[in-house]
Structure 1
Amino acid sequence: MKQSRVLIVDDSPTMRRLIRSILEKDPRITVVAEAGTAREARDAVNTYKPDVISLDVEMPNMSGLEFLERLMRHRPMPVVMVSTLTKRGSSIAVDALALGAIECIEKPRLGQQEDSFSNLADAIVLASQARVGGRVVRAVAPVLNHPRRFKRICLLGGSTGAVDALEQILLRFPENCPPTLITQHMPEPFLVSFAARLNQLVLPKVSLAQEGQTLSPGHVLIAPGGEFHLNLTSNKALTVSLFKGPPVSGHRPSVDSMMLSATEFAPRIVAGILTGMGRDGAEGMQKLRENGAKTLGQSRETCVVFGMPKVAGQLGGVEKWVDIANFGDEMLALAETPVRGGAI
């Protein structure tokens, strides 16, 4: 197996040594260079051509986020953010993911040392397998002179790389968008910041889902994570059920859990599976399509990791493949199509 070539970028020599010592214990990884500033990092990228960068947020002259943005614009490549500022729930962590970082790992505090860095090597290897494209110039959601009548509900599921994908989709949604449920693989505190970021960025209202909440036009609900899956149920009106249970398809919250719960409402559903590793959501997409839902898969060319969509397609769960730039518009068009037995 080819080793992942890593560039470590951190302004602290002590932290660079610690990260190097951890990564060099893993036979899947080789450290090719270190850098203490953005300028050194730029030169090292050109000289050593690493597969992955381990990048700190705090650096002199130019922050890690500024460097990340420039890197993704001019020479996109996989990046794992490693910093005290990327602690769970930090809006900076979500900003980094939105800019294209594959993962955010928190630096160990004093006394923790290597124990809390146990997932760093796995994150580096995962990142090295990701496909990272250039930054996309995004269009804001169109301002419409007439209201659109949506007849269906939208479901979206994603993992690695889907923070940016979901932003691009929701930026196309108007204020009166279809009722929308999202399950995104992300630690619970990150999801709080992610929902808040989206709510500021897009026209519809975005929030974490609450137990018993009724689905309504213009409102996007995100699985809150933690111990719960986000499911769809009916109590006269379609409502949210936060199901406390073990991981489904290896994840909690699970895309499969959400989509499988919606199969009885399949003729009223438009479902989309986005970039991510693994197979979560594949079975749910298959069952939804079998029962009359409209289903979309993010195209291989625009996925960071073509895993979840690929398996969904192999099971027959994808009716149409769509580039991420057109995904939102495609979902909205399908949500306007007639529904047998009545609309939402």
Structure 2
Amino acid sequence: MNKIRVLIIDDSMLIRKILTEILNSSPDIEVVGAAEDPLIAREMIKQLNPDVLTLDIEMPKMDGITFLRNLMRLRPTPVVMISTLTEKGAGITLEALTLGAVDFIAKPKVDVVSTLNSYADEIISKVKMAARANLSNSNRALKTREPDKIIEPANKRPGSDKTIIALGASTGGTEAIKVVVRGLPANTPGIVITQHLPAAFSESFVKHIDLASKMTALIPKHGQAVESGHIYLAPGDRHMEVVKEGSRYVIKLLDTEPVNRHKPAVDVMFRSVAQCAGSNAIAVLLTGMGADGAAGMKEMHDAGAKTVIQDEPTSVVWGMPGSAYKLGCVDYMLPLEEVAHKIVSLV
């Protein structure tokens, strides 16, 4: 099997050295070059024809966003962004994902040796995933036009606020979620969303959702009730559960151990919705690496919920939805552009 050929683009010699050593430690990966700025990288890409790039955001001569925009226009290549975990870094990284970057990872903390092993596992797995990613879908939100007409749900029947929608996603999900919410009317029942993101990215991403949607998107507070017309995004450092208190669904935020290596985890959210909503729930699982959400979707399906997954051709990575499909708990498997319409029809 051919090794995955990686080009590292970063202005820090130390970061280039660390990433080179980490990636070359995998038998499936070969770092074929390292460039200190995008202008040098441009020539190396022509010479070396890498399979995957790692790209720093802030660099001399040309910033990472400008370089990425040009790259995706002229020579689309899978890119993993190397991001600072700050509010500013979050906004720029989300812009990079909109432009077509497959995924991102935090800059390694070079002074914290104890974290480098887990960091190494993560960057290696993300580079391997990027090499297999369906690149034509990584900037799908840019190409997906808004529906000509958004179909409003039928007049609410008495008690129809009992419906709750739970949606999970990971790699490629920041753009896929925007495509889905763009097609939902303002009076859609409450939606709880778990997307794998660091805590510093939550506020930036919820603003992106709010701008894309006719609903109101927010980071919930512990104990907040779920209301129709609202989207609740799990904060990046807490699991989100839903419980029933009287006739209301109420959000609980938990600072407990990661599940499936994630915090927040989709399985935690789905399992709680299965228990409190049963057949009054709709589960949606979009593009993402791994299997988080599959077991929880099965519990929702077994409890009577309707289940929807994104199909493989339109997913950046068909890990999470594919895992749910293998468990036999999927009612509807659809292209991304049809997910919102299906949600409206099920409400």
The SS at the match of 1:206 is: strand
Which has the larger displacement, 245-254 or 261-270?
245-254
Cα distance in 1, alignment partners of residues 288 and 183 from structure 2: 21
Picking from 240, 250, 254, the partner of 1:243 is: 254
Contact kept? 1:141, 1:173, Cα under 8 Å? no
Q: Which residue of 2 aligns with 1:92?
A: 92
Cα distance in 1, alignment partners of residues 334 and 149 from structure 2: 23
Matching of residues 33-112 of structure 1 within 5 Å: 33-83=33-83, 86-89=84-87, 90-108=90-108, 111=111
* CA spacing shift, 1:112–1:244, aligned 2, 3 Å: closer
Deviations 1:248-294, CA, capped at 9 Å, x for gaps: 34432121111111224232222111111222211221222233222
Unaligned runs of 5+ in 1: 336-344
Q: Which residue of 1 aligns with 2:297?
A: 285
Cα distance in 2, alignment partners of residues 207 and 145 from structure 1: 23
Deviations 1:149-205, CA, capped at 9 Å, x for gaps: 464322101111111111111111222222111011122222222112222332211
Tell whether 2:175 aligns with 1:158: no
Q: Which residue of 2 aligns with 1:126?
A: 129
The SS at the match of 2:206 is: helix
* CA spacing shift, 1:23–1:283, aligned 2, 3 Å: closer
The SS at the match of 2:269 is: helix
Contact kept? 1:139, 1:171, Cα under 8 Å? no
Q: Which residue of 1 aligns with 2:5?
A: 5
* CA spacing shift, 1:141–1:216, aligned 2, 3 Å: farther
Contact kept? 1:142, 1:174, Cα under 8 Å? no
* CA spacing shift, 1:105–1:147, aligned 2, 3 Å: closer
1:4 alignment partner AA: I
Unaligned runs of 5+ in 2: none
Contact kept? 1:161, 1:304, Cα under 8 Å? yes
The SS at the match of 2:97 is: helix
The SS at the match of 2:50 is: coil
Q: Which residue of 2 aligns with 1:271?
A: 283
Cα distance in 1, alignment partners of residues 240 and 38 from structure 2: 40
Instruction: Give the TM-score normalised by the residue count of structure 1.
Output: 0.85
Instruction: Give the TM-score normalised by the residue count of structure 2.
Output: 0.84
Contact kept? 1:143, 1:174, Cα under 8 Å? no
Q: Which residue of 2 aligns with 1:339?
A: none
Q: Which residue of 2 aligns with 1:338?
A: none
The SS at the match of 1:160 is: coil
The SS at the match of 1:216 is: coil
Q: Alignment RMSD, CA only?
A: 2.8
Contact kept? 2:153, 2:345, Cα under 8 Å? no
The SS at the match of 1:292 is: coil
Counting aligned pairs with the same residue, the percent is: 34
Contact kept? 2:169, 2:287, Cα under 8 Å? yes
* CA spacing shift, 1:26–1:147, aligned 2, 3 Å: closer
Cα distance in 2, alignment partners of residues 167 and 73 from structure 1: 22
